[in-house]
Amino acid sequence: MDVHLNMKTNLADIRIEYSSRNLDCKDVARSPIKQFETWLNQAMEAGALESTAMNLATVNPNGQPSSRIVLLKGIEKDQFIFYTNYTSHKGLDLATQTSAAINFFWPELERQVRIEGSILKVDPSESDGYFESRPYGSKIGAWVSDQSKKITSRKELEDKVLEYQQKYPEGSVVPRPSHWGGYALTPNYIEFWQGRPSRLHDRIVYELDEKGEWEIYRICP
């Protein structure tokens, strides 16, 4: 059976011509972390929506990839930190396949950053410290949500919220669930992408060599 989409716009005709900036090897910092921090600060100054949002790509033991948006919560010891439920889809992926990738896109600056590396859990004390800083509702949510699992209805979720609000009233200490905590991605490859006219984008790569030093080079768009 033929299916015809009734669309007002031809998707093939949608494109944006990037032309606001350029990027060259001589312009970037020697450290990719410093270069990333510079770009992140510029994204925040430009008013980028959810400037710390990043697409996290993982793969399961069968080689099936999946991705989702998470929030960067810190850069410590040259590692990229985020927090989540350890028993979620991504948590189960990372339990067996520690290689992963994250991607930031800041359309306001016509930029993206691709980062590849290995991911491990952070020390429990770090997870405790961050969890304590979260708003009360977010703490309760960490207890309530059996992330990525099937649920019968929204009401089931709301009933669990009431249950845990009674168990941990606002103003009381809400402990961190053992199934919730942080991950740290240690990069071995970072690409800085700057949009340019006619899709001839500037792409500058930092890649760790065998000596553990960053090699900087340009790749074709």
The catalytic site residues sit at: 199
Contacts of 22 (CB under 8 A, 6+ apart): 194, 196, 202
CA atoms within 13 Å, Cβ hemisphere of 183: 32
Among residues 98, 91, 202, the alpha carbon closest in space to that of 149 is found at 91
In this structure, what DSSP letter does residue 213 have? -
Alpha carbons 106 and 46: distance in angstroms, whole number? 9
For residue 159 the two structure tokens come to 């009933």
Alpha carbons 144 and 141: distance in angstroms, whole number? 5
Q: How is 27-38 classified by DSSP, letter by letter? A: GS-SSHHHHHHH
- The answer to whether 143 and 130 are in contact (CB under 8 A) is no
Among residues 197, 191, 209, the alpha carbon closest in space to that of 25 is found at 191
